Structure 1
Amino acid sequence: MRKLILTLLAGILLTGCGGNDPDAVAEGDRLPPADDPVAWAGRVCSALSLLSASSGPALDPNNPAASKDALARSWADTEQRIGESLRGLDAAGPSPIQGGDDTARQLRDALNGLRGAFADARTELDGIDPKDPAALATRLAAIKTRLDVAHASSALSSMGDNAALNEAVKQASSCAVTAR
């Protein structure tokens, strides 16, 4: 059985989740008490919900240059959302759950790795000549493979063994959106 945290993050990255989040931490918000595990888990899930997948770039096989630009914008947007999620994890504060800070650190490490992978992908994409559709297709396939590998190897599979954290995640309303 997949670990709950891995399932949450994978669900957010791949399918996204919706709208208004009651556990979101906005600048200047008063946070629930530091000893409330469900509130803390909710803030972590809210931070991760910032990664909600967009509909993706509109690619036009008849216009490789426009498709390349759309991909670059999409990957830049993903990098930005990862940065926002990292700031949200910081705003969640210290965990009242034993081992929760370790999980948050693992999430930060994984997100930083993914952000770097998207930055590298954009850099490589910049060097592709859109006037050479065969090279564009070949290199894009290789880039996608590297992004998939970066996501799969981002140490997310080592999370989710903390029963108290998993229980708090199950109870937090912002986590319920993706824990289906």
Structure 2
Amino acid sequence: MIPRLVLVTDRSQLSLGRGLIRTVSECVDAGLSAVIVREHDLAPAARAALVRELTALPGLTVISSRIHDVAVHGLHVAAHQPAPRQGWWGRSCHSRHDVERAAAEGASWATLSPYAASGSKPGVRTLLEAGDFAVHPIPTLALSGVGAHNAAAAVAAGAHGVAVMGAVMRAGDPACVVADLVEALR
């Protein structure tokens, strides 16, 4: 099953001089157990090397976003992508109907967004209602604008857990943010 806390990577949001491998490694030390690797802009060989380094981190479940990679544990597809024919996978969703469709196609989990206003995508979409996160046929992670301040509220609203990008990627101390999220989700 997908954990209650999943980190979504975006190295472009990291503080100057901070590397993605180091950041994720520190987050694993703070209690992170799953990561979705985005980094869609990397050349295939560079992205494959990044994935291999992440899969070497002990206890970390590595999920690839949109791009199949034999080294990972799972695949997270975009809302518009076709369902994979096999393997452990999830889908990005933006409505209750999207989650139901993902479950019917065989997804093991879904991210559902936007949960809250996001520093990564300010003013992009109308926020979902808290009730939109309750009673889904598959574990659903609240995504967008999630931090330690509202992660527990997302779970209280019915989400299985949270997927976090900006709060961790932009932090001066990403491991501290992960530790706070782990505590908030207990």
Please report the TM-score for the alignment, with normalisation by the length of structure 1.
Answer: 0.29
Greater per-residue helix proportion: 1
**TM-score, length basis structure 2:** 0.29
Structure holding more strand per residue: 2
More contact order relative to length (CA 8 Å, sep ≥ 6) = 1
